[in-house]
Structure 1
Amino acid sequence: MRRAVLVLTAVLTVGALVSPGGATADTSDAFSATKSMERVFEEDGDRVVVDERTVTVKVDHTKNLRGRERVQVSWSGAHPSGGRATNPFGEKGLDQEYPVVVLQCRGRDDSSLPAARRLARETCWTSTPRQRSVQASERTALWRQDAFASAADREPKSGLSPFPSERCDDVERLSSRVTPFKAASGTVHLSCSATTMAPEAAADAAFPPAEVAAFTDVDGNGRVSFEVRTATENESLGCSSTTPCSLVVIPIMGISCADDASNECLKTGQFAPGSSNYSGEGVDAAVSPVYWWAESNWRNRISVPLTFATEPDVCDVKDSRAPTAFYGSELLSQASTQWAPAYCLKRDRFKFQHNRMADGAAFALMERGDAAAAFVSGGQEAASDTRVGYAPTAVTGFAVSYVIDRPDNAGELGELRLTPRLLAKLITQSYTGSTIGQQHPGMAKNPMSINQDPEFKALNPGLDSIAREAGAALLSLSEASDVVESITTYIASDPEAAAFVKGQADPWGMVVNPSYRAIKLPVDEWPLLDKFVPTSTQECRRQISTPYMTQLAAPISSLRKIAEAVLDGWPNVQTKCTRSSVSDPWKMGRVDRQGIGSRFMLGVVGLGDAARLDLRTASLQTKVTRGSGTAFTDASGRSFVEPTSSAVLAAVRTARRSEQPFGAFALGPATTGANAKAYPGAMIVYTAARLEGMAKADARKVAQFIRVSTTEGQRAGAANGQLPRGFVPITRNGATAALWKQADAVADAVESQTPSAADEDGEDETTPEKESPGGGAPAPPGAAPGADVPAAGPAVAPPNAPAATTTLETAPTAATTSSTGRLLMAGLLGVLLLAGFGAPAVRVVALVRGGRR
């Protein structure tokens, strides 16, 4: 008898990995394992090997994972797949042959562990009953014909004892098998029908399926991005920093058949290697993923231990001190989420909290003394003579993330090139979106979506030309942000893009949306100026007079939400007509998630989010060496750069010091223009703080934060206190040395503080120090919910906030704003909030600002 030979090695590689987000990360938590596997047929008591493979599986990182983070799983040596499914996730991935199944399971593959912490089929997550339960005739009940099946599994009813026939077996004469799911709570979900699945597997679940039956190419290689989920996203699965979990990779070799097996068991596939199964035709079940749980397949698993970062509420649970809140740029969110526990879990440090807010509004709070510090991505317009220092804290930036499927089921597009003019077309809503949008005056001859644009097709050949509303706009922010200012500066600095915005047609005849012709750029908040309402025969559109282009653009208030929309392939386009019943009024809602194989959407994201979620990011044009202003058919004469660490560093090398002491560095197209290898989306996030008049306690905290964040906080890694992917470390030497030097100097200047007026009037050292908002005093005007926390109690994190980050949502605006306007807004918002108006205050502010124009 020939037995499978197990060769299993875990290889830990130390090095540096360039992430999609452009940062370097320690890869000491990478995983690699090799295993020999075979398929056998029993013949007269002997086992004959009919197929054998040596499969190597690699995972790029496995430790300190966070919810919805994606890891790269790759393999070699597997059986080539056939009948490729257009959607490999969840139940839709079952109709293919010889895929590699990847699952997230609770527990570890270690027999020495207690049973409750041990990996089992019953602890692996799937989304539908078909992936766990099956009924079949004796001839097609292949799990009963498995040469490696136990006696219990060969019984007509198996998987549970006693078998729940009244709930999982409608036909007594058929063989039945269930693989129940055992939740972290101990509850056993039978998983043989929609009503017996775990609650997170509901048809309208918040998240799409993560489990995947991935395709292997004709050379035996494959790769997939796998999204891990914590107890926050999937409570039943229950993975956390204290609950061990694993990634389980199962290369489907086929059922090994016993002596008495039927011909159905002996089948080896009807689809040729590399072929597609567009119509979802039936496949040979013996080599399909439907039986991932059968012993022949399960025994070939390679399990990858996963560890998860501390929970988002760890600071609230373990530190009862009130937090000191810093306000500002969302670009820092991934870093501040990792940094926060490194402060609150050490008693000699303060409890740090990052509340996301528009850069300008945060700066205004800090400048007025209502916040200890502000995170900003560039120099801000001051409203007073108070001296402010800008301490460089993080090097990151923005990216245009995308999910685009290639035609003919060929997988995702791996490289996307964009010019400033293409971004200008998207942001000015100059694509018509559909035949409805073609009614727009002055735009009838414009392409419906970017994939129909000759400029886009010349740079990105091989894609389809199907009109898509989601391809007519760039999903972007609805509120003020230095990210918007950076994008529009990039557009304004390019002669081709600037000419297009001013009204000059591109070389193929496309023109700017008249509503945005000659808009003054740059702006830090993109206005929704288009008021075009189309005529339509649709009943819902006759009832709802909503500007169509605004429905296509549908901006979002958070970079993180944009990133998750791209991750899910779910545009925010608001053109779906819905109503609860025929007697209810129509309303416009969000369109459905795009199907795998036909996805096409783009969104503005932070490099930190892009790296965490493993999103693809576009290469942006940096230089035109010939043919400017003329039609072109390929990328010749144009340079494009993706956001790698080297490209971000190349941009940082061009940064210029401010003429003001401790001012923000100049970084942008004006400095990077001569360097074709510099990424134009690179940005520096600063900790901005007053150099005079600050309470001594606050000054010490801000100085401590700057020093810690620019030393240990710049060590790349996924652990608490380290710098996540998507950021380039600030170091004492090299390209970022000037940034580090200024941060160090600003920390000293903040801590020393020019004497305040109170000190000059004779206040002595025994006078109680004024605490910062969030340090026991009421929250400042404009603060997010949860910032006003009594000193004796734990901080209250707002709903849906990541880790120690508090989120402030603001309403979208309808016009361009100035820095002065932002300051007025922050002041008015504070008055209204203190008066108890809360959320309505935001709407009042928007009306006031709109009325000034």
Structure 2
Amino acid sequence: MTTRHLRAGRLGRLRAVVLRLVAGAAIGAVLGAAAQAAVPALAAGGASPSTGSAVTVSGRGEFAGMKFTVSQTKNLTNQAVQVTWTGGTPTTFAGSSFNTDFVQIMQCWGDDDGTVPGNPGPSRTQCQYGASPTTNRTAWPGNGRDDTRVVTYSPGPAHYGQDDTYGNGARGGQGEVPFKSVDGTLITSSTQNNPLFNYNTTNEIDFGRTSADGTGNEYFEVQTSNEAPHLGCGAPVTRNGVTTPRSCWLVIVPQGHLDLDGQPYADPTQVNAGSPVSSTNWKNRIAVKLGFNPIGINCALGSAERETIGSELVSDAMSSWQASLCSSGTVYGYTELGEPDARQRLISDGESGLTFTTRALGSDEGTFAPSDKTTYAPVAVSGVVIGFNIERNPKTTAPDSIKQLAGTKVQSINLTPRLVAKLLTESYRNSPWGAVVTKFTGGTGVLTAAKGYEWALRNPAGLITDPEFVKYNPEFADLTVTENPSTDTDLITALGHSDSAHQLWTWIESDKDARKFLAGSPDEWGMQVNPYYSTNADINPLGLSFDPLRDDYPKSDPWCTVPSGSGATEKQCMTDFHPYVDDMHAGALSSRRGDTLWKASWDPLGNPPGWKSTGPQLVGQRFMLTVTDAASASRFGLQTAKLRNASGTFAAPTAAALTAAAATASGTGGVRTVSPDTKKAKSAYPLTEVVYAAARPAKLPAAARNDYAKLLRYAANTGQISGSNPGQLPIGYAPLSETLRAQARDAATTLVDWKTAPPSSSGGGSDEGSGSTPSQTPDAAALPSISPSSTPSPSASVTFGGGTAVALTLTGTTPADPSTDLRYAVPVGAALGLLAALGAPFTGGLRRLPIRLPLNLPGGRSVTALPRFTLPAGLRRPRLPRRGKADRTPPG
């Protein structure tokens, strides 16, 4: 063991002592605080399997030569679908605003309104559209009508956008197309910022660019009744005694370059496009019907319920499997919980049920495996990924071939462990926003750093200007990005502790270049680590060595500032510049929406006043990076970075790469983990994880063991067939190998056959041979008989055509690319303030993060104490059987 690790160990023990002092006081301050339970969406089920749901439709009139394809139209949930088109005319601009020949997309509810017999579709009053920004529109590429519901009235034919129904009845009069909610609520004015949907929640695409070759490509976020209750998509509807999920529509409105008289616009230098819901544009709309998985309880009432908890990596798989498992007579609840906390719960309370984990009980610092037997059943192979949503923004000096790609999506990026370390350690110059500013003297700008941030002067502003990044991603030499803390310096991460974070940091620590960088050695171009994250205590301002062998994403840098001219009375700190999200799913969704969550705007009228997010990035200039899981990235259509493995290969998280990595897994006691530094498979994806369902059979009654055995047998057989239909293995997972499936079936048999007598004292924790001698239980005969030969073989190929386009995002390619949480008010007295001041420097190394405690310190600073404390079961948010994620408010 190295001196550094010995020193880290001693400091870790000291940190733990101080932590307990802080945690004791802090926990006392929050006892009695209101705990809030959010009821998530329930499991889907009952939908008929789809054998092919991609739909291609043609345009009409001016757009008759265009064809539009929607990648998936059935069995939908809250997810992204890909909309591509061909045969278009390249988009033109008037200045920076979209002028002619672009595409607008929206989601609508309702029956066919009968206006276009050849292409049934909804009424324009029932479409979620028009929620563009109401302020700060200087750089926004819309004209105030093409991105709103504002329409113009003109009795003559030569005015584009005329609307004699809703345009205020005089020549040139402007009105608004009302919005009618599924519950009958009617909004007739101020539709741009209405109570039902706004700029931060709408899924509309105002500006879909058509490239020079006439093609276009957008990912559209489909919303269910959970995300958009006013649309009601997927909610149960009963007609003629039959209850089915409410269908909805995806509506595409192409904007052209011809006026109503069929001639080009008289003045092409002016923005001419009108609202897509004006009658003249609506006549060209193309509607595609969307079928949803049911929203709500779909298992029979009165069914027994069995709890499962743990790894987010299995979340999408469980959401799918729950639908098919209803027929077993058992409802399988699922609560997402960080694996370290889930393991601790199983250790302390073996009666809690089935726990999903990627590591064995007792693998966490300070914990021990229980003496009785633990069964481990492999259920899924997935991994943590760096998902991204990046659009090309060429430099003015870029060649014309690059400029023609402006606004199109980057299809692939390569990342090394050191590059990811730079992002996670806030080491780019713009990350501590405001610590380095440009001061002008005699007309010359000079970078000036705040005290203690001189190190940042030598560092690139962000990822896109980092020579190491450009070395592996040369196309970025001709691209630029808006400089602020929410673009290429930000890697969105989830709050809390997880095995995925542990795997990511282990990958970083396994790389020699990354280790040297964290220790304080500059890279080949002179960039240095943010000293607050240095593993070298001699250069770390806290006097401690940062511990990279961790399972969270700390915000260790204490930088705070009040931007000049903001009028703010509170400082902005690192969690304002780089907010956490609740989980990896939320990170993927924010990245799809282009919403960095950066609290950039001071709201003096808030209650209380505070910093707030300004909403999504500008279309065509998005630069989003997030740590998420492969299934969430696929679900929301994110591209995924290729990561350099120990063999020097940049590998994408394809099913083949996940499978290759899983084959290298090693370990004892029934749990095998993938080592990111393995060189056994050159094609292996380094952040692959195998998820196990762990249970302590001696602590479970026979009925529970039988129910969990049903789940394991399903997961090991039919549940390994890849596809997007309910009951299948979602895209983003690799099917289990036969060896892993066999282990899962053996674990199910162990649960069924377990004797009810206490296990022998010689049982060896997680040893597969420990515990009591199995024997047949009376109710085992009730289990369905499933054998490998009686079920389809697992396959990584999706079983319906609609999933192919989204699946390709996992390879890092784009088919059409041309080249609630809890808030605690903590009164901090003098004693607690002292303890907080003592404990603040240690927050970067904490091992548990289920609650956050904002503490005000002397001198106007504030930090977040993160006590080693696990919420009691009664205070945790339950997760009932559900199809989607629970609504979550990112911390901040």
TM-score (norm 2): 0.68
Matched letter for residue 704 of structure 1: K
Matched letter for residue 86 of structure 2: S
The answer to whether residue 215 in structure 2 is matched with residue 221 in structure 1 is: yes
Which of 640, 643, 655 in structure 1 is aligned with 2:665? 655
Give 1:478's aligned residue. 495
Give 1:596's aligned residue. 619
The answer to whether residue 515 in structure 2 is matched with residue 514 in structure 1 is: no
Q: Structure 1 residues 502, 120: CA separation in 2 closer, same or farther (over 3 Å shift)?
A: same
Which of 300, 303, 306 in structure 2 is aligned with 1:324? 306
| Aligned mates of 2:270, 2:692 — CA distance in 1 | 57
Matched letter for residue 547 of structure 2: K
| Contact kept in structure 1, 2:121 and 2:249, CA below 8 Å | no
Q: Structure 1 residues 180, 756: CA separation in 2 closer, same or farther (over 3 Å shift)?
A: same
For the aligned residue pairs, the C-alpha RMSD in angstroms reads 4.1
Q: In percent, how many aligned pairs have the same letter?
A: 26
Secondary structure (helix, strand or coil) at the match of 1:469 reads coil
Matched letter for residue 562 of structure 1: G
| Aligned mates of 2:760, 2:301 — CA distance in 1 | 32
| Contact kept in structure 2, 1:31 and 1:59, CA below 8 Å | yes
Q: Structure 1 residues 361, 574: CA separation in 2 closer, same or farther (over 3 Å shift)?
A: same
Q: Structure 1 residues 829, 62: CA separation in 2 closer, same or farther (over 3 Å shift)?
A: same
Give 1:277's aligned residue. none
Aligned residues: 677
Which of 337, 361, 367 in structure 1 is aligned with 2:341? 361
Higher mean Cα deviation, 519-528 or 218-227?
A: 519-528
| Contact kept in structure 1, 2:161 and 2:275, CA below 8 Å | no
Give 2:654's aligned residue. 644
Alignment of 1:667-746 (within 5 A): 667-671=674-678, 673-730=679-736, 736-746=737-747
Measure how far apart 1:809 and its partner are: 7.1
Alignment of 1:603-642 (within 5 A): 603-623=626-646, 639-642=649-652
| Contact kept in structure 2, 1:143 and 1:291, CA below 8 Å | no
| Aligned mates of 1:177, 1:141 — CA distance in 2 | 18
| Aligned mates of 1:383, 1:540 — CA distance in 2 | 54
The answer to whether residue 447 in structure 2 is matched with residue 446 in structure 1 is: no
Measure how far apart 1:740 and its partner are: 0.8
Measure how far apart 1:431 and its partner are: 2.1
Alignment of 1:449-468 (within 5 A): 449-460=462-473, 461=476, 462-464=478-480, 466-468=482-484
The answer to whether residue 91 in structure 2 is matched with residue 77 in structure 1 is: no
| Aligned mates of 2:567, 2:174 — CA distance in 1 | 48
Q: 1 or 2 for the larger relative contact order (CA 8 Å, sep ≥6)? A: 2
Measured against aligned partners, the alpha-carbon deviations of 1:265-301 in whole angstroms (never above 9, x if no partner) come to 6325865xxxxxxxxx6234xxx35356546x54544
Matched letter for residue 436 of structure 1: A
Matched letter for residue 602 of structure 1: L
Measure how far apart 1:485 and its partner are: 0.3
Give 2:417's aligned residue. 420
Matched letter for residue 754 of structure 2: Q
Q: Structure 1 residues 481, 698: CA separation in 2 closer, same or farther (over 3 Å shift)?
A: same
Higher mean Cα deviation, 391-400 or 331-340?
A: 331-340
Measure how far apart 1:564 and its partner are: 2.1
| Aligned mates of 1:199, 1:36 — CA distance in 2 | 33
The answer to whether residue 195 in structure 2 is matched with residue 199 in structure 1 is: yes
Measure how far apart 1:573 and its partner are: 3.7
Which of 337, 345, 348 in structure 1 is aligned with 2:319? 337
| Contact kept in structure 2, 1:565 and 1:571, CA below 8 Å | yes
Give 2:753's aligned residue. 752
Matched letter for residue 354 of structure 2: A
Alignment of 1:292-311 (within 5 A): 293-294=278-279, 298-311=282-295
Alignment of 1:207-286 (within 5 A): 207-240=201-234, 242-253=245-256, 257=260, 266-268=263-265, 282-284=270-272
| Contact kept in structure 2, 1:356 and 1:808, CA below 8 Å | no
Gapped regions of structure 1 (runs ≥ 5):
1-25, 40-51, 87-92, 146-152, 160-167, 272-280, 625-637, 731-735, 770-806, 840-853
Alignment of 1:392-411 (within 5 A): 392-408=378-394, 409-411=406-408
Q: Structure 1 residues 517, 308: CA separation in 2 closer, same or farther (over 3 Å shift)?
A: same
Measured against aligned partners, the alpha-carbon deviations of 1:781-817 in whole angstroms (never above 9, x if no partner) come to xxxxxxxxxxxxxxxxxxxxxxxxxx99799992435
Gapped regions of structure 2 (runs ≥ 5):
1-48, 132-143, 236-244, 395-405, 437-448, 536-545, 762-771, 781-819, 825-839, 852-865, 879-892
| Contact kept in structure 2, 1:575 and 1:589, CA below 8 Å | yes
| Aligned mates of 1:416, 1:27 — CA distance in 2 | 33
Matched letter for residue 456 of structure 1: F
| Aligned mates of 1:383, 1:523 — CA distance in 2 | 20
Q: Structure 1 residues 303, 538: CA separation in 2 closer, same or farther (over 3 Å shift)?
A: closer
| Contact kept in structure 2, 1:472 and 1:552, CA below 8 Å | no
| Aligned mates of 1:176, 1:539 — CA distance in 2 | 35
| Aligned mates of 1:331, 1:356 — CA distance in 2 | 9
Q: Structure 1 residues 103, 478: CA separation in 2 closer, same or farther (over 3 Å shift)?
A: closer
Measure how far apart 1:588 and its partner are: 4.2
Give 1:58's aligned residue. 69
Alignment of 1:448-597 (within 5 A): 448-460=461-473, 461=476, 462-464=478-480, 466-470=482-486, 471-518=488-535, 519-533=546-560, 544=570, 548-574=573-599, 576-580=601-605, 587-590=610-613, 592-597=615-620
| Contact kept in structure 2, 1:98 and 1:289, CA below 8 Å | no
The answer to whether residue 374 in structure 2 is matched with residue 388 in structure 1 is: yes
| Contact kept in structure 1, 2:154 and 2:170, CA below 8 Å | no
Measure how far apart 1:29 and its partner are: 3.0
The answer to whether residue 64 in structure 2 is matched with residue 35 in structure 1 is: no
Q: Structure 1 residues 315, 206: CA separation in 2 closer, same or farther (over 3 Å shift)?
A: farther
Matched letter for residue 636 of structure 2: L
Secondary structure (helix, strand or coil) at the match of 2:100 reads coil
Secondary structure (helix, strand or coil) at the match of 1:75 reads strand
Matched letter for residue 233 of structure 1: E
Give 2:428's aligned residue. 431
TM-score (norm 1): 0.71
| Aligned mates of 2:266, 2:90 — CA distance in 1 | 11
| Contact kept in structure 1, 2:92 and 2:99, CA below 8 Å | yes
| Contact kept in structure 1, 2:381 and 2:734, CA below 8 Å | yes
Matched letter for residue 661 of structure 2: A
Higher mean Cα deviation, 606-615 or 453-462?
A: 453-462
Q: Structure 1 residues 84, 174: CA separation in 2 closer, same or farther (over 3 Å shift)?
A: closer
| Contact kept in structure 2, 1:621 and 1:640, CA below 8 Å | yes
Matched letter for residue 816 of structure 1: G
Matched letter for residue 385 of structure 1: S
Which of 119, 124, 133 in structure 1 is aligned with 2:122? 119
